Amino acid sequence: ADGGKLLVVPQDGSHWLSMRMVLEKLWEKGHEIVAVVPDAALLLKSSQSFTIKTYSVPYTQEFVDQYYQK
């Protein structure tokens, strides 16, 4: 496939791990990828393969981390 632009709005969770691998393969094929994620998330982290744009949510990263530990 020819390289193109892709906008991704993923949800946090285990499916993100599989989706991230797909995005990295698309990046290797020349696609430009932007992922829009909340500024407090469990698994949605930055990558060299795609650009991350964040948006504000009404909870903090500390809240997410504590909730996950429970």
Q: How far is residue 58 CA from its own chain's centroid?
A: 18
Three-state DSSP class for residue 56: coil
Query: What pTM was computed for the model?
Result: 0.78
Per residue of the chain (70 residues), give pLDDT as tens: 566 899 999 888 778 888 889 999 999 999 999 999 999 988 888 888 999 999 999 999 999 899 888 8
Would you say 50 and 33 are in contact if contact means Cβ atoms under 8 Å apart?
A: yes
